[in-house]
Amino acid sequence: MSIYLHDIPLPEAQARFRQAIQDAGLWHVLGTELIPLDENSLGRVTAEPIWAKISSPHYHASAMDGFAVRAIITNGALPSKPLTLQIGPEAEYVDTGDPLPHWANAVIPIENVESLDELGDITAEIRKPASIRLRSSVAPWSHVRPLGEDIVATQLVLPAGHILRPVDLGAVAAAGHQEIKVTRKPKVAILPTGTELVPIGSQLKAGDILEYNSLVIAAQIKSMGGDPTRYPITKDDFDLICERVQEAAQDNDLILLNAGSSAGAEDFSAKVVEKLGQLLVHGVAVRPGHPVILGTIDRRPWTEDKTVHPPLSIVPIIGVPGYPVSAALTVDIFLEPLLAYWLGRRTNELQTEMATLTRKIVSPPGDDDYVRVAVGKVGDKLLAAPLSRGAGVITSLVQADGLALIPRGTQGLDAGEQVKVHLYRSKAEIEKTIFCIGSHDLTLDLMSQFLAEQDRRLVSANVGSQGGLIALRRGEAHLAGSHLLNPETGEYNISYIRQYMPNIPVKVIALVRRDQGLMVKRVNPKGIKSLRDLTNPNVQFVNRQRGAGTRVLLDYQLKLMTIAPDRIVGYSQEEYTHLGVAAAIASGRADCGLGIAAAAQALNLEFIPLFQERYDLVIPQQFAEGDLLAPLFGLLAEHRFQEAVSQLPGYDVSVMGTIVLEE
């Protein structure tokens, strides 16, 4: 079954699209409009250079409150030899901004003169003494803003293609304009298609998919300076989609057909484009997002009776993939440069930095591969930690601090290698980021909330307790959350720290004690009570990954109870978080799993407490002493925070802040 679309390299796809738009005479600014100069002009793009109609100031203006004089008559005034000037013929009071009398060429600031009337108070009268006395001379044109100091009539104020900022509006106004010619906003139609789609906020049944791509895309287009229109959902019906596309072609500059861009049974997008115009590209070698369609639609006069007229012009169309991450990246990659061109502005460019990868990335060698990453600075190293690569995982874009590009021609990169990252955040923000890696605990989410109030960003990656210690050894995190039980001694963490990060002085602080137990569906349909019940072949278990503290705890308890892991169905099925385990049970994919009470409560599961364990923070001394982590230590002593944590089910905060080890 050779049914798949053909991926072509990104630059070739872009070139074909551009060529078609050029051939249609549409590769230029779409149009201009004259708008009033007000705060709504903010963010618009100048359509032509703005030249000054008037000078600013348009007269010689006093730059200070003081007395206008001819500079030459002040010559010779000295501290020891004061000079007296008669108000009227020799000096005239001026306020800041007042025009200079035609006979004057300098201003003496009021604080530099003595009034012979010797009035002590600031009143309007003081400005009109009979005479003033000065003890130094003034140079010609001092304290004067000469005509044109800011702007000279006919001078260039702003170039074409400039995105208007607040101060620009002032300069344009100062140059004598009350309207400004800007480029027209490109109109973009967003057509969500799919029988399975339901609007935001719908009650969902299995198979329903919430249609929020059009919302994200509309917001992207808006923030890029375009004018988006979201069309209603069209079901997967070839004729209906054709009709909607033709309708959208009437009064839009670009059409985005969302989903149906793959090659499945109900993926009509490519066929629609073929029927109504020209299919240029179906499939681009870029991940995520490869089932992209690029083409053009013939804009024909629209008639109710469906008479076919010859085309008037063409409208570019992009078939945007259905997965939300693919959709958002497709808009960034294909739409943004086109909108920039149509708006006559520069392309948005993210800042790039080289960063050290914390994990190996495998990448298809033929593709330009965009990997979402969390970015933090640990010591001197800028680190990029890859996030979920699922194209359906929109939260990975929400959490991303940047995109790492693995260019085509490479098969991926190893941990520790340098990768180019396009940053979504400023470096200032990144430098306030606390990188926490290791075992996940719900306390970290609360901590993140509280730290945000103190100008810190806590980013936590879940790689299990052991993974966290290894990351600390590699200098890839500021701290790690760990709950590793030593099966020999019953002690937590210390022996593992000695093993995994020898010779690194650390501080270990107890965070919480928490219940571990079995999560099962309400009301425990399989009657599970202890680990012993996991050997029942009808019980499907879901495990945590190797290295996770919960996994170590399970293995320890199984050994005590002499239960062989291979007797447990599902022992090898691994999840990376407590919530992942809970979700597997809630969905029926498993009957039970070991985890914490809070995760069970989150998904409305029953919780059978079995053990209590300690969860510690492990912090290398080099970070324990810096400014970055200071607010975190403060938090551990804060009543408000302890209170919030103790609200979580199965949590005991009595140990919080206790120093377990300090080296």
Q: Within positions 381 to 400, which residues make up the interface with a second copy, using CB under 8 A?
A: 390, 392-395, 397-398
Q: How far is the CB of 599 from a second copy (least distance, A)?
A: 9
* Candidate ranges 402-410, 445-453, 557-565, 611-619; the one touching a second copy (CB under 8 A): 445-453
Cβ partners under 8 Å of residue 534, min gap 6:
528, 541, 563, 567, 568, 592
Query: Looking at beta carbons only, is 406 or 581 nearer to a second copy?
Result: 581
Q: How far is the CB of 287 from a second copy (least distance, A)?
A: 14
Cβ–Cβ < 8 Å for 462, 387: no
Q: How far is the CB of 71 from a second copy (least distance, A)?
A: 11
With CB under 8 A as the contact rule, the residue among 87, 126, 405, 644 that binds a second copy is 126
* Candidate ranges 213-221, 276-284, 363-371, 481-489; the one touching a second copy (CB under 8 A): 213-221
Q: How far is the CB of 45 from a second copy (least distance, A)?
A: 12
Query: Looking at beta carbons only, is 159 or 634 nearer to a second copy?
Result: 159
Query: What is the C-alpha to C-alpha distance for residues 356 and 376, in angstroms, rounded to an integer?
Result: 10
Cβ partners under 8 Å of residue 435, min gap 6:
374, 376, 378, 383, 385, 459, 461, 476, 477, 478, 479
Query: Looking at beta carbons only, is 13 or 582 nearer to a second copy?
Result: 582
* Candidate ranges 260-268, 306-314, 504-512, 553-561; the one touching a second copy (CB under 8 A): 260-268
Site string for a second copy, 593-612 (x = CB under 8 A): --------xxx---------
Query: Looking at beta carbons only, is 44 or 299 nearer to a second copy?
Result: 44
With CB under 8 A as the contact rule, the residue among 73, 83, 87, 210 that binds a second copy is 210
Query: Looking at beta carbons only, is 147 or 494 nearer to a second copy?
Result: 147
Q: According to CB under 8 A, which residues from 24 to 83 bind a second copy?
A: 37-39, 42, 49, 54-60, 63, 65
Q: Is 373 helix (H, G, I), strand (E, B) or coil?
A: strand
Query: Looking at beta carbons only, is 600 or 660 nearer to a second copy?
Result: 600
Is residue 429 involved in binding a second copy (CB under 8 A)? yes
Q: According to CB under 8 A, which residues from 129 to 158 bind a second copy?
A: 140-141, 145-158
Site string for a second copy, 161-180 (x = CB under 8 A): x---xxxxxxx-xx-xxx--
Query: What is the C-alpha to C-alpha distance for residues 255 and 294, in angstroms, rounded to an integer?
Result: 10
Beta-strand relationship, 506-520 and 92-94: unpaired
Is residue 627 involved in binding a second copy (CB under 8 A)? no
Q: How far is the CB of 481 from a second copy (least distance, A)?
A: 16
- Count of residues interacting with a second copy (CB under 8 A): 129
Site string for a second copy, 78-107 (x = CB under 8 A): ---------------x-xxxxx--x--x--
Query: What is the C-alpha to C-alpha distance for residues 53 and 151, in angstroms, rounded to an integer?
Result: 10
With CB under 8 A as the contact rule, the residue among 74, 183, 193, 213 that binds a second copy is 213
Query: What is the C-alpha to C-alpha distance for residues 504 and 500, in angstroms, rounded to an integer?
Result: 10
Phi and psi based region of residue 580 (left: phi greater than 0; alpha: psi -120 to 50; beta: remaining): alpha
Q: How far is the CB of 417 from a second copy (least distance, A)?
A: 23
Query: What is the C-alpha to C-alpha distance for residues 457 and 351, in angstroms, rounded to an integer?
Result: 20
CA–chain centroid gap for 572, Å, is 36
Q: According to CB under 8 A, which residues from 337 to 366 bind a second copy?
A: 346, 349-352
With CB under 8 A as the contact rule, the residue among 6, 28, 360, 427 that binds a second copy is 427
Q: How far is the CB of 125 from a second copy (least distance, A)?
A: 9
* Candidate ranges 300-308, 321-329, 479-487, 553-561; the one touching a second copy (CB under 8 A): 321-329
Q: How far is the CB of 315 from a second copy (least distance, A)?
A: 22
Q: According to CB under 8 A, which residues from 220 to 259 bind a second copy?
A: 220, 222-223, 228
Q: How far is the CB of 296 from a second copy (least distance, A)?
A: 23
Query: Looking at beta carbons only, is 150 or 243 nearer to a second copy?
Result: 150
CA–chain centroid gap for 269, Å, is 30
Is residue 322 involved in binding a second copy (CB under 8 A)? yes
What are the DSSP E strand ranges found in 387-432? 402-406, 412-413, 418-423
Cβ–Cβ < 8 Å for 561, 567: no
Q: How far is the CB of 577 from a second copy (least distance, A)?
A: 8
CA distances from 197 to 318, 327, 402 (A): 19, 15, 29
Cβ partners under 8 Å of residue 40, min gap 6:
none
Cβ partners under 8 Å of residue 643, min gap 6:
none
Q: How far is the CB of 452 from a second copy (least distance, A)?
A: 6
Angle between helices 213-224 and 336-343 (to 10 degrees): 40
* Residue 120 buriedness (CB in 10 A; 0-12 / 13-18 / 19+): exposed
Angle between helices 442-452 and 639-646 (to 10 degrees): 150
Q: According to CB under 8 A, which residues from 529 to 588 bind a second copy?
A: 573, 579-580, 582-584, 586-588
Query: Looking at beta carbons only, is 62 or 363 nearer to a second copy?
Result: 62
What are the DSSP E strand ranges found in 159-289? 179-183, 187-192, 197-199, 209-211, 227-230, 254-258, 277-282, 286-287
With CB under 8 A as the contact rule, the residue among 14, 142, 278, 448 that binds a second copy is 448
Q: Name the residue among 513, 469, 475, 526 with its Cα closest to residue 494.
A: 469
Query: Looking at beta carbons only, is 352 or 622 nearer to a second copy?
Result: 352
What are the DSSP E strand ranges found in 327-426? 351-357, 361-362, 368-378, 381-386, 402-406, 412-413, 418-423
Query: Looking at beta carbons only, is 148 or 487 nearer to a second copy?
Result: 148
Q: Is 563 helix (H, G, I), strand (E, B) or coil?
A: coil
Query: Looking at beta carbons only, is 246 or 262 nearer to a second copy?
Result: 262
Q: According to CB under 8 A, which residues from 474 to 513 bind a second copy?
A: none
Q: Name the residue among 338, 233, 289, 258 with its Cα closest to residue 15.
A: 338
The full length of the chain comes to 663
State the sign of the Cα–Cα–Cα–Cα dihedral 193, 197, 200, 202.
Answer: positive
